[in-house]
Copies of this chain bind each other. A is one copy, B any other.
Amino acid sequence: MRTADAPPPARSARTLPLRAGGEQERGAGIGFTLLALDGAARRGRLTTAHGSVETPAFMPVGTQATVKAMTPAAVAATGAEIVLANAYHLMLRPGPERIAAIGGIHKFMNWPGALLTDSGGFQVMSLAELRQVTENGVVFKSHLDGSRHELTPERSMAVQEKLGVDIAMALDECVRYPASPEDTRRAMRLTIAWAERARAAFPLLPGRGLFGIVQGGVDRNLRTECARALAAIPFDGFALGGLAVGEGHELMIQVVAHTTPLLPAEKPRYLMGVGKPEDIVAAVAAGIDMFDCVLPTRSGRTHQAFTRQGEINVRNARHADDPRPLDPDCACPTCQGHSRAYLHHLAKSEEMLGAMLLTWHNVHYYQELMRGLREAIVAGKLDDFRAAFAERRAQGDIPPLN
């Protein structure tokens, strides 16, 4: 567990580990070391300006520079080594200059670990009004106050650089699902052009990296074209974007399994916005190293808890008198100290502590899932892990007490 008392991370290029990729001479970027393989699944380690990250890794989402309802110390206590924030939101409020003046996003939010920001492409698509996409970039109105903004690949890089993130994402164009083949192809090719501009604009700094984002919808040919084009650009890692947008688990995993072999094996791979525990397990088996999703945190604010035996809603009356924890096998503070009956009471009473305790439990559950996956890969037993995981999830919640 990280604490605020940890020594400052090494900033000298010489102290960085050798990168698995071919750009060690540059002395810049993040490190990635593959430690073990099990089929297509990979066990690795990222090295950033703010510590290392064991992969496969799940990044809790801290959109507005806070993982909702959790203190940074609680996030670290779950085992999370990297969190995600959103350049779109922070660009609009409080503004990257303000965060830079405070000393960067790590100091701003008191998070000493690694941090990745999304570029804003997805948020412009999903949140902003009146967006206009041109070759140059995207013009949109803020969802906060209607003010007009322009986001270009270069502006997105400048914002993320000012924030001082460990991993920046290239600006991409996301299309809604379903989209026509023409729209999907056009957006994918624009994403490639923007990726080249992003790489040129983002500085080479030790411990700081830039990922490109593969688009192309659910069309394998478009995914192939995009992955090959991006693989030729010296990114520090590659993300799969435009998935988990409504296409369903099977199709998503098919696209993932199709795309990962097209990406450089020595670079980390990040499946954006995914997902349910089942999605993560299948995507790890298909060669993904990094994930983010609002599910554990958002569910925590809607009374939903993840357990090894499936999801439960603590508002359900069956929990009102249940003295047992959410998950008898869970070591999180919520399960160690609080009964379902108490969590039910907090939910019915709309007390903030209910959201706090459920969020902590859910993020802990996700980190525990990732620990299990990492151990299984090292042991060469990912298939066994997947079978046991699926069997237990299918059991459903523990039976009620009489």
Q: List 18 A-B contacts (CB under 8 A).
A: A4-B337, A64-B351, A65-B342, A66-B346, A66-B351, A68-B351, A68-B352, A68-B353, A70-B353, A71-B357, A73-B333, A93-B345, A93-B348, A98-B345, A102-B323, A108-B345, A110-B342, A356-B356
A349-B93, A352-B355 given; A339·B69 CB < 8 A: no
Tell me whether B94 and A333 are in contact (CB under 8 A). Answer: no
A333-B73, A338-B110 given; A103·B349 CB < 8 A: no
Question: Across the interface, which residues of B come within 8 angstroms of A345, CB to CB?
Answer: 64-65, 93-94, 98, 108
Tell me whether A349 and B98 are in contact (CB under 8 A). Answer: no
Report the separation of the CA atoms of residues A346 and B68 in the bound assembly, to the nearest whole angstrom. Answer: 10
Tell me whether A71 and B102 are in contact (CB under 8 A). Answer: no
Total A residues in contact with B, Cβ cutoff 8 Å? 40
Tell me whether A108 and B353 are in contact (CB under 8 A). Answer: no
Question: Across the interface, which residues of B come within 8 angstroms of A356, CB to CB?
Answer: 69, 71, 352, 356
A351-B66, A353-B68 given; A342·B102 CB < 8 A: yes
Quick check: is A321 within 8 A (CB to CB) of the other chain? yes
Report the separation of the CA atoms of residues A101 and B93 in the bound assembly, to the nearest whole angstrom. Answer: 48
- A sample of 13 more A-B contacts (CB under 8 A), given A66-B351, A108-B339, is A4-B336, A65-B342, A68-B353, A71-B357, A94-B320, A94-B341, A94-B344, A98-B320, A98-B345, A101-B323, A102-B342, A103-B323, A110-B338
Q: Which single residue of chain B is at the shortest CB-CB distance from A339?
A: B102
